[in-house]
Amino acid sequence: MGKACVLCGRDLSRIDWTSHRPALMDPERKIVQWGEMAAVDVPGLLATHLPVCWDCQIIESLVQQHPERVTVRPPH
């Protein structure tokens, strides 16, 4: 509660956990999806990682996995 996506600023108070789960971003900007986290690790990850909404997670994962296929433009 009270968190926003570190990339776009979207409020993460209401999350659709069935289809659009948020993720976390580590200090090196690597995306960590909920399915990759052990439940016992979540409190520690929440202390060291930043929240990312589902939309930004998809985009950032694509940029990290296939940078040659993405054109990053500065915001308008």
Q: What's 14's DSSP letter?
A: S
Is residue 1's pLDDT more than 80? no
User: In 38-70, which positions are buried (b, 16+ CB within 10 angstroms) versus exposed (e)?
Assistant: eeeeeeeeeeebbbbbbebbebbeeeeeeeeee
Three-state SS for 71?
Answer: coil
Q: 16-58, pLDDT tens digit by residue?
A: 888 888 899 999 999 998 888 898 998 999 899 999 999 999 9
| C-alpha 33: how far from chain center | 7
Give the pLDDT score at 52.
Answer: 95
- Name the pTM for this structure: 0.80
Three-state SS for 42?
Answer: helix
Q: 53-76, pLDDT tens digit by residue?
A: 999 999 998 988 998 998 878 877
Give the pLDDT score at 49.
Answer: 95
Q: What's 54's DSSP letter?
A: H
